[in-house]
Chains A and B, each alone.
Chain A
């Protein structure tokens, strides 16, 4: 089986988000970038399935400029075999999906795994677009993924429950907990990652369909109104009469 794992390079979850003075761009200054947390589930599960099958390859793919390479190397250190970087700023989800679909097709990958969504742009859409571009099923978001031969059994989360779905490869799945315990790189992994192949290719396809005009931060809270613990019941009255939410 050939696994393709798509990883996005995102600000660390503890990042305090700020924008450039014109509010047109995310302010990257001093920000630590990490592999999108959901994508770590996709990566680890692909490696586990490859190990269980005793053969196959795991390729990581990122659409990004050269500054994403430390996180691509990290994915190689965790256990991917090789990597591809499409050398372009990810303009929007459709642009990214076209790159992923082109590479998946050219490399005849069997299983294309992603994270549920990116924690920066929160699109939750690349997987459906890639599935549609390739004319193959997408299972999103998947909480469990098992393979037997070329057939996969997945648990797809729906609001209020889950569906057990069976699909034949090739397919796309977007991954989330509790699929696996994401691995962290060990010393040996870090050493071997340096020499694993990382291919850089140029983008293809059409441009973006959407454009961010401006960013904004949420309005600040007024400040907290404290109620003494002894008269906790007063809170309920305030919620009814003042906040009018109960």
Chain B
């Protein structure tokens, strides 16, 4: 019996969301009186994997098969299922990412496990079942879900769990192979296209987000958003109409029908705060709203606000961040 956590790696590094997943898994292991093993996917370095000890992981399994560099649903599922069997994992924890949800849903059928996605808190155990809190109604509510059965899979929402950092602890890294065949790579990508990241910060992984709406008037004004984002080390985002008219790319569209974000800081510039937009951002820890209309609905969901013109306010904010040093 053990807990298995799936850590996603990119360019050799463990993703921040996976550090949270590892911390979640090791705390579940402690609750159950067992240990947490990680299985790593993507491109990892042994040194970075060993460092998962800081998140309470005792052992990391890693298959260096080159075709596992990119996401392949079939192969990843088989690899993780094999690791779960080897470790006799009772609980499997993954990130609530596109990779985590794709793999987790297939695994739940293969391993006859109960599955909860979008989970925001550590589980409460009652007998052999778990109760987990998960986001529902696109950020408008939460549901406590009971997972029963011998095996459980939990996909943890980014930024809902604090990552542990126990300095100096290391995990042992073990080579692992799931005897993958060509058939497992049926959905292998022919090509991978990564976004051109201006400031180097990906929206789904970001701690801080600066977002613009129709109040920005046109794509030619986005340097104001980008300058503030750069100064803060934030990612950029936008409202739906902004991406619908191609001022900004679709992957920046947040909201009920875009991506859901829950950063520590969400700054909305020239966005009215429609219910569909709020749904995607209202689990952010701190919300800042800049809008020239004091009646804009977004102010009701905000922690800090400035009633003013974005063209006047944004440069002042960027300047103030630079002065902080």
Question: Can you list 18 contacts pairing A with B, beta carbon distance less than 8 Å?
Answer: A19-B141, A94-B115, A120-B137, A122-B135, A124-B96, A125-B101, A129-B106, A137-B186, A138-B106, A163-B189, A209-B148, A209-B149, A217-B142, A224-B303, A229-B313, A236-B317, A236-B321, A245-B264
Contact digits for A108-121, partner B, Cβ 8 Å, 1 yes 0 no: 00000000000111
A230 — nearest CB in chain B belongs to which residue? B308
A37, A123, A125, A237 — most chain B CB neighbours (10 Å): A125
Q: Which residues of A contact B115 (CB under 8 A)?
A: 93-94, 125, 209-210
Q: Tell me the B residues contacting A by CB distance below 8 Å.
A: 10, 15, 70-71, 73-74, 77, 96-99, 101-106, 108-110, 113-118, 131, 134-149, 186-195, 197, 202, 204-205, 208, 232, 250-251, 253, 256-257, 264-265, 275-276, 279, 282-283, 285-289, 299-309, 312-313, 316-317, 319-321, 323-324
A124 engages B117 (CB within 8 Å): yes
A128 engages B313 (CB within 8 Å): no
A128 engages B105 (CB within 8 Å): yes
A119 engages B137 (CB within 8 Å): yes
Distance in angstroms from A9 CB to nearest chain B CB is 14
Contact digits for A141-160, partner B, Cβ 8 Å, 1 yes 0 no: 10100000000000011111
User: Known: A140-B98, A233-B317. Is A160-B145 also a contact (CB below 8 A)?
Assistant: no
B276 engages A212 (CB within 8 Å): no
A137 engages B144 (CB within 8 Å): no
User: Known: A132-B106, A210-B114, A224-B302. Is A163-B70 also a contact (CB below 8 A)?
Assistant: yes
B145 engages A122 (CB within 8 Å): no
CA distance A19 to B140 in the complex (A): 12
Distance in angstroms from B308 CB to nearest chain A CB is 3
Contact digits for A1-26, partner B, Cβ 8 Å, 1 yes 0 no: 00000000001011011010000001
Q: Which residues of B contact A119 (CB under 8 A)?
A: 137-138, 256-257
A154 — nearest CB in chain B belongs to which residue? B187
B140 — nearest CB in chain A belongs to which residue? A17
B283 — nearest CB in chain A belongs to which residue? A218
A213 engages B144 (CB within 8 Å): yes
A227 engages B317 (CB within 8 Å): no
B116 — nearest CB in chain A belongs to which residue? A210
B189 engages A165 (CB within 8 Å): yes
A218 engages B321 (CB within 8 Å): no
Distance in angstroms from B189 CB to nearest chain A CB is 4
Q: Which residues of A contact B285 (CB under 8 A)?
A: 245
CA distance A102 to B153 in the complex (A): 24
CA distance A210 to B194 in the complex (A): 36
B316 engages A232 (CB within 8 Å): yes
How many A residues have CB within 8 A of the partner chain? Answer: 76
A211 — nearest CB in chain B belongs to which residue? B146
CA distance A75 to B186 in the complex (A): 32
Q: Which residues of B contact A140 (CB under 8 A)?
A: 73, 98, 101-102
Is A72 an interface residue, CB under 8 A from the partner? no
Distance in angstroms from B190 CB to nearest chain A CB is 5
Is A57 an interface residue, CB under 8 A from the partner? no
A246 engages B265 (CB within 8 Å): yes
Distance in angstroms from B258 CB to nearest chain A CB is 8
CA distance A210 to B145 in the complex (A): 7
Q: Tell me the A residues contacting B by CB distance below 8 Å.
A: 11, 13-14, 16-17, 19, 26, 37-38, 93-94, 97, 119-129, 131-133, 137-141, 143, 156-167, 177-178, 209-218, 221-222, 224-229, 232-240, 243, 245-246
CA distance A122 to B306 in the complex (A): 33
Distance in angstroms from B40 CB to nearest chain A CB is 16
- Select B320's contact among A213, A221, A233, beta carbons within 8 Å: A233
User: Known: A125-B115, A214-B144. Is A229-B197 also a contact (CB below 8 A)?
Assistant: no
B303 engages A139 (CB within 8 Å): no
A240 engages B324 (CB within 8 Å): yes
- Select A221's contact among B193, B208, B303, B319, beta carbons within 8 Å: B303
A94, A160, A215, A228 — most chain B CB neighbours (10 Å): A160
B289 engages A224 (CB within 8 Å): yes
B114, B146, B283, B320 — most chain A CB neighbours (10 Å): B320
Q: Which residues of B contact A141 (CB under 8 A)?
A: 98
CA distance A4 to B142 in the complex (A): 31
User: Known: A125-B105, A139-B187. Is A217-B141 also a contact (CB below 8 A)?
Assistant: yes
A163 engages B97 (CB within 8 Å): no
Distance in angstroms from B240 CB to nearest chain A CB is 9
CA distance A58 to B101 in the complex (A): 27
Beyond the given A94-B108, A141-B98, A163-B189, could you list 11 further A-B residue pairs with CB under 8 A, ordered by the A residue number?
Answer: A13-B279, A121-B137, A122-B138, A127-B105, A128-B105, A138-B105, A224-B305, A227-B306, A238-B304, A245-B208, A246-B265
User: Known: A13-B256, A163-B191, A164-B191. Is A122-B117 also a contact (CB below 8 A)?
Assistant: yes
A143 — nearest CB in chain B belongs to which residue? B250
B186 engages A167 (CB within 8 Å): yes
A239 engages B250 (CB within 8 Å): no
- Select B257's contact among A13, A216, A224, A236, beta carbons within 8 Å: A13
B77, B114, B136 — most chain A CB neighbours (10 Å): B136
B146, B257, B312 — most chain A CB neighbours (10 Å): B257
